[in-house]
Structure 1
Amino acid sequence: MEDIGVKAPTDHVESKVNVGDLKNDRANKILSEAAGQRIVLTPENNSRVLKKIDLYILPVVLGIYFLQALDKATLAYSSVFGLVEDTNLVGHEYSWLGAVVYLAQLVAQPLIAYALVKLPLGKFLAVIVLLWGVSLSVMPAAHNFTGLLVCRLFLGLFEAGVAPAFIALTQMWWRRREQPVRLGAWYAMNGITNIVGSLLTYGIGHIHSSSLRPYQIIFLFFGLITVVFSVVVWFFLPDSPITAHFLKGEDKLVAIERLRANNQGVDGTEWKWAHVKEATLDIKTWLWAAMMFTISVPSGGISTFGPLIVKNFGFDPFETILLNMPFGAVQLIATMGGAWAATALKLKSPVLAFLSLPPIAGCVMLLHLPRDASAKAPLLVAYYLISVYPGITPLIYSWSAANTAGETKKKVTTGALFIAQCAGNVLGPNLYTTGEAPLYHRGLLSNLALFVVLIGLYAAQVFYLIILNKKHGRTRENMGKRAVLVDKSMNRVQAAATTTDGAAEDQDEDMTGHHAFDDKTDWENEDFIFVY
């Protein structure tokens, strides 16, 4: 029997394909066609394939999310350069321009969840990137609330598939140990956006045109960049490891085998209503959705009103844009630092609790500090403390992604989280109004309460996951398996010891990845291990 890679790895799992049910996951078909080979995951081939995946997939993903964050942020940037005054926005109208993007995304989620199961992922992303770029490019033609609202509605509708698709991409390409950093990397583009976007907006704001106002140039410039990038996505982002052009021969098999320990599958195209029911009945789905709603309320408010809050500290428009750059730097550090800590600890809940503390302190400071020239510095410190919150969202997504299996259940669960996120982002901007400037007392007080609630939700979820792990342990024991298993998806791939005759010691007699590509849910697969 031919071996792929060196023998005797600790994570060695010899592929045993359920040929009788190949429709469960397309990975089963690929492995069945390689039935004459023994697929062995080693530190060497794992590292080689991981580098290829990071090189070919991550840049495209980061580019998409950078542009999405930038395109949504154009509203906040434009508000500093006269959008509110020139288009005669009053009352909650500006708030609704921020909220309508998420309202459209919320309504679209059931269709998105179905489309992510049935459509090729790479091509799906390319098309929606093109369409939201067009939506932003036509915004300079809108001169009143109605026109701007329609453009923002379509922007939100076409952006609705990005975050759910990225969760699917992360589960499809990376092991559970690797997921927090990759999820953190694309979400950290929010921080890069605040830095690069602020610099670009600062430059665009100095352009004097007889036909276009600075905020109109901002819309057109960023929209056209997005349209061009959609071509890159179409040609360079593969639909899955199974169709990836950059994976040849054994590398394709290794890319699939890397994901066996996840027990989450790779690429299934069958919509299963039983998975939908299970996702709906699963308490952890709703706990993560509650977390996502709770963090998204302050996120929606601060992302929409952040520059206006800083401007009301006593800065002019150009100073305000430049002072938004440290906000982005803190976001970047919090997001990547949180992802790194979660990977190192192999735990997400303690890191999430820690990241919730600085925003609490920041909200308290903004609620109690005076708004005068002498308090500018501490007010900025408070604002930057709040800017730690973006590190929370990708870890919640990562925590959910690592604990959900079954192709349809994964998409439904992600959809539920994104609906909750959209709902929070709809409510968030409406807790702030331009009429409450400069204190924004109602918005900040509600944000403070929600950051505290988050910590309680983390604790409740950990308790429930412990119960699920114990339940699986009893099931395995009744089946004659080990009650306690090692979660290899959270470990590095390492070489194992060999016996005196040179044969590999079988460290995986329990075959924890036996059902990895059978499209079983985390409830159905007794070998699934829930992570905290």
Structure 2
Amino acid sequence: MIHKRVLVVMVITYFAQTLDKGTINFASIMGIREDAHLVGQQYAWLTTCVYIAILIWEFPTNRLIQRLPIAKYLGLNIMAWGAVLACTAACTSFTGLIIVRTFLGIFECVCQPAFVFLATMWYTREEQALVIGAFYSMNGFQQCVGGLIAYGIAQIEHAKLKNWQILFTLLGCITFVWGLFVLWWLPDSPMRAKCWSKQDRFLMAERVRKNETGIQNREFKKYQAIEAILDPTVWAVVLVSFTNALPTGGLGAFSNLILTAFGFSQLQTYLLAIAQGAIIMLFLFSAAYLSKRYRQKLILAFLYTLPNIAGTVVFLCVETSAKTKVGLLIAFYCTQGFGAVAVLNLAIMSNNVAGVRIQIFESNTFTYGRRLQRTKQVIASSLVFIAWAVGNAIGPQVFRANDAPRYIKAFVAHIVVYGIQLAAIVFLRVRLMRLNALKCRAQFLSTSEENVNSIRQ
């Protein structure tokens, strides 16, 4: 029942967002660089500007998500970015492309923070990793579908519009219509879902009460904002978000150019994108499944970083030739584990930035309390997605035009970033294990004190 109204919207919307944002990658070998007279780093800036816009608008959109009906706000943003995407087809210069790509970033940045809020609002903690994994897996599925669409459009010849213009117009119009549907279909919260009975709405709200994150609290609390800023757990998650996003941003913008540099043709590159998407989905779903089964998200995040390192090492050590292109392709597929780490990191944030607070006093006594900390979650969510945006913005810029086609300097930077990511994951695990031990001790002492009081009475 919830899946039909909420999860379906999250999955399809995220699919549309990743596909629409990634169209520039498919268009890169359709002639957009030549038609728009792009030179030097200008193509890289078409991706970077999207994430700079996200960086600027991330916190305001989080505040608006907190204060406005989330379904209506999401639907309107979807319609807006669909319209902007369709307008990209009319751009024939770097200036025009920069403008529409910047607006695309502003409207698209609602998705991830909105979906984390929807996950905590509608689903239990145990379900959240699978839910986040479901919509995040669209990073892979959009590669499959995008590759097929691009392959089909590439067959069109002698049309009035260029192939890349047809791609932007088609996807933009479809997205706009989907935004209208979301406005009508998605409920704002369990208690406002008039599509269900009052009893069903009450049961849905009760089901997620144990999350200790609330349904939707619109009050901004300054002390919770300070708490989030001073919390090392939040900053560790933020760092992982950044280190995971930087390689993603570069590979997402340059993957088709990298594959063609290996020696594959334009049409072969589109078809190889389908296999790339399937591998991304395999990483994502396996991470979500293993996370639910073993409940060891940080260990899994560490393990899923290792294939990225292995693939990058191959890029650095093996030269491009007809004999090595298959091996390089396999290495490229190994670097697609970033999606699994992102899902696990989002689940760690949603599970650990909640309403539990432990206070430790000099007398070595503990108090254990439950309270709703929606403001803290808003700040943490903003910081995580800002880090994600910064990483994705920097990512394309490490791929320098004068370093093509192997981009050795870019892959050296990736190795350094992966090392930092592994260190952050280890720190986060040690810290959370300590906090869990303190929490258990506080609960035990609190229960013991209550038992003593009841005996005295």
Answer whether TM exceeds 0.5 for this pair: yes
Give the alignment of 1:197-208 within 5 angstroms. Answer: 197-208=146-157
Distance 2:379 2:278 in 1: 33
Residues 367, 444 of structure 1: 8 Å contact kept: yes
Unaligned runs of 5+ in 1: 1-51, 484-508, 510-532
Residues 313, 376 of structure 1: 8 Å contact kept: yes
Deviations along 1:62-92, one digit per CA (max 9) or x if unpaired, are 1100000000110000001111112111111
Give TM-score, length-normalised by structure 1: 0.79
Residues 156, 163 of structure 2: 8 Å contact kept: yes
Residues 120, 239 of structure 1: 8 Å contact kept: yes
Aligned to 1:290: 239
**Counterpart check, 1:419 vs 2:368:** no
Q: In the TM superposition, what is the alpha-carbon distance from 1:433 to its structure 2 partner?
A: 2.6
Root-mean-square deviation (Å): 1.5
Distance 1:222 1:481 in 2: 61
1:161 to 110, 130, 152: 110
Distance 2:324 2:303 in 1: 27
Q: In the TM superposition, what is the alpha-carbon distance from 1:208 to its structure 2 partner?
A: 2.4
Distance 1:451 1:222 in 2: 34
Distance 2:15 2:449 in 1: 45
Deviations along 1:455-499, one digit per CA (max 9) or x if unpaired, are 11111011111232233344444544589xxxxxxxxxxxxxxxx
Deviations along 1:122-145, one digit per CA (max 9) or x if unpaired, are 001001001111110101111111
Residues 308, 338 of structure 2: 8 Å contact kept: yes
Larger fraction in helix: 2
**Counterpart check, 1:407 vs 2:374:** yes
Residues 54, 389 of structure 2: 8 Å contact kept: yes
Aligned to 1:434: 401
SS in 1 for 2:191: coil
Distance 1:417 1:240 in 2: 24
Aligned to 2:133: 184
Deviations along 1:132-166, one digit per CA (max 9) or x if unpaired, are 11110101111111110000000001111111001
Aligned to 2:455: none
**Counterpart check, 1:456 vs 2:405:** no
Aligned residue type for 2:395: G
Distance 2:349 2:381 in 1: 8
Deviations along 1:99-138, one digit per CA (max 9) or x if unpaired, are 1111000001121121111001100100100111111010
Residues 250, 396 of structure 2: 8 Å contact kept: yes
Deviations along 1:219-258, one digit per CA (max 9) or x if unpaired, are 1111111001001100111111111134323222221111
Aligned residue type for 1:460: F
Residues 241, 247 of structure 1: 8 Å contact kept: no
Distance 1:272 1:209 in 2: 60
Aligned residue type for 1:173: W
Residues 202, 321 of structure 1: 8 Å contact kept: yes
Distance 1:143 1:53 in 2: 44
Residues 176, 402 of structure 1: 8 Å contact kept: yes
2:37 to 88, 102, 108: 88
Aligned residue type for 1:418: F
Distance 2:402 2:76 in 1: 39
Distance 1:267 1:259 in 2: 12
Aligned to 1:238: 187
Give the alignment of 1:263-342 within 5 angstroms. Answer: 263-342=212-291
Q: What percent of counterpart residues are identical? A: 33
Residues 41, 400 of structure 2: 8 Å contact kept: yes
Residues 318, 324 of structure 2: 8 Å contact kept: yes
Distance 1:209 1:161 in 2: 38
Distance 1:360 1:481 in 2: 49
Distance 2:54 2:116 in 1: 16
**Counterpart check, 1:143 vs 2:92:** yes
Aligned residue type for 2:432: L
Q: In the TM superposition, what is the alpha-carbon distance from 1:368 to its structure 2 partner?
A: 1.1
Aligned residue type for 2:286: G
Aligned residue type for 2:422: I
Q: In the TM superposition, what is the alpha-carbon distance from 1:198 to its structure 2 partner?
A: 0.5
Distance 2:448 2:64 in 1: 38
Distance 2:192 2:15 in 1: 25
Distance 1:482 1:94 in 2: 65
Distance 1:318 1:210 in 2: 18
Q: In the TM superposition, what is the alpha-carbon distance from 1:417 to its structure 2 partner?
A: 0.1
SS in 2 for 1:312: helix
Distance 2:336 2:413 in 1: 16
Residues 116, 411 of structure 1: 8 Å contact kept: no
Give the alignment of 1:109-124 within 5 angstroms. Answer: 109-124=58-73
Q: In the TM superposition, what is the alpha-carbon distance from 1:168 to its structure 2 partner?
A: 0.3
Distance 1:196 1:383 in 2: 19
Residues 293, 420 of structure 1: 8 Å contact kept: yes
| Counterparts in 2 of 1:213 and 1:480: CA distance versus 1, 3 Å | same
Distance 2:345 2:243 in 1: 11
Give TM-score, length-normalised by structure 2: 0.92
Aligned to 2:365: none
Distance 1:478 1:335 in 2: 40
Distance 2:411 2:293 in 1: 33
Q: In the TM superposition, what is the alpha-carbon distance from 1:339 to its structure 2 partner?
A: 0.5
| Counterparts in 2 of 1:255 and 1:145: CA distance versus 1, 3 Å | same
Distance 1:481 1:67 in 2: 53
Residues 5, 187 of structure 2: 8 Å contact kept: no
Deviates more, 1:204-213 or 1:361-370: 204-213
Aligned residue type for 1:150: I
Aligned to 2:11: 62
Distance 2:328 2:134 in 1: 29
| Counterparts in 2 of 1:238 and 1:482: CA distance versus 1, 3 Å | farther
SS in 1 for 2:323: helix
Aligned to 2:414: 447
2:206 to 234, 257, 266: 257
Distance 2:396 2:448 in 1: 52
Deviates more, 1:186-195 or 1:107-116: 107-116
Distance 1:85 1:437 in 2: 17
